Structure formats: C-alpha cells, structure tokens
Homo-oligomer: A and B are copies of this chain.
Amino acid sequence: MARPQTDIEAGREELLDVVEELVRKRGGVDLSMTELAAAAGMSPSNLYRFFENKEALLEAAAGRWFAPKIAIMEEVIAADMPSREKMYQFFARRFVLMRDQYRADPDMFKSYLELGDQHFEVLRGYVDLGDHYLSEIVVQAMDEGYLVDLSIDDAVSLINQMVQVYCNPEALLYIDHKLSEDKLGRIVDTIFIGLGRSFHHKAGSGQPHIKIVP
C-alpha cells in the first residue's frame, strides 16, 4: 500500500481500518457517520475533517476494496501475451482473489456486498473500468483473428454474460463449490473458438427449426 503523504491521509487510512472493523462486527447496512465517529473515538465534526460526507467515505472504502483488483487488470493489460491467455488471466486472477477473500471471512464478505448493494453508484466506475480494459483485450483478439463479425460492444457484453459467475461476488455465496479456474479456462476457450462464428447444423441435425418461442 502507498505510504500516506499527509496527516489527513494517514487519518483516512486509520478510519478505513475502523470502517472495516465496524462492517465486520455489525454488517454493512445503514452505516452512519455518527456511528463511525463513535467507533473511532472522535467527534463527528472531527470526522468530517477527513471525509466531507458519507459518499466520500464510501468512495474511499470502495477504492481500498477495488485497488488490488484494478492492479491485476492493469498488470494483465500491460503484459505481452496472446489475447486468449490475457482474457483468462483478466478474469481468473480477480476471481481467485475474490474467492480467497470470501473463504477467509464469509460474513465480512457478505457485509461488504450489502454495503455495495446499497451504494451501487460507487461501484459503477469500477464496472466501467473493467469493460474498458476488456474491450482492449477484445480488440487484440480481433487482431489475432478471433471474435469475428461482432462489434466490440457486443463482444464485451456477451463475454461479460458468459463469465458472469466468475465476476459477480454473489455467485460465491451460492455456487463456490461449482466454480473453478479449470472451468473458467474452458469457458474462455469456448469463447475464443465459437463466439462470433455462425452456427451450421451438422449432417443429421438439420431438421427444419420449429419456433416455439412466442
């Protein structure tokens, strides 16, 4: 972690430690500035010297949560690798990090999800950044002859949908035991082999299509 530059920054880091401890103890619902001030043993007006409002506090907490994930994305994007490997690392390394966090302290993990659910706006920038980096990998993949006949946006959207269980932290609460790096690798392979190509029925499966969708 970067060394704090000023007393204010050092104070912020300490307060974020208190936030983590609070969220661990009492969950993430309706955390207030008053409660944080009490837990930190300072007056609310003193707390406002460090965070001017609750939004600034939540943004800082989200920043700390996402920092290692953003570092992974930047490292993968900068690496000199074929697009398939890059896409795998892009999703797998963040998945493994998230799963480690979940398994180390499931209750804490759930509390952070509650906090995120209530303040989705602070997550929006992270989601957009992920899409931005994914679109860079998509462009490289197209240069290498994959993901043909798709717009970049459609490719990003379809890939996000197909790997969603490896990106959405909620999935760990329900199907942790069904998720694995090996399966994610197979999904990424499937995307590179099949996405954007036209499907042609093989001999023996060419009966006329019966449309029964309304």
Q: How many residues of A sit at the interface, in one of the four size bands?
A: 35 or more
Q: How far is the CB of A194 from chain B (nearest CB, A)?
A: 3
Bound Cα distance A83, B157 (Å): 25
Bound Cα distance A45, B188 (Å): 57
Copies in the complex: 2
Verify if A192 is at the interface (C-beta below 8 Å from B): yes
Known A81-B207, A83-B205: A162·B187 in contact at CB below 8 Å? yes
CB-CB under 8 A from A194, the residues of chain B are 189-195
Known A183-B157, A186-B195: A89·B213 in contact at CB below 8 Å? yes
Verify if A12 is at the interface (C-beta below 8 Å from B): no
Bound Cα distance A186, B157 (Å): 11
CB-CB under 8 A from A192, the residues of chain B are 194, 199
Q: How far is the CB of A177 from chain B (nearest CB, A)?
A: 11
Contact A93 B190 (CB under 8 A): no
Contact A92 B190 (CB under 8 A): no
Bound Cα distance A144, B146 (Å): 25
CB-CB under 8 A from A84, the residues of chain B are 199, 201, 205
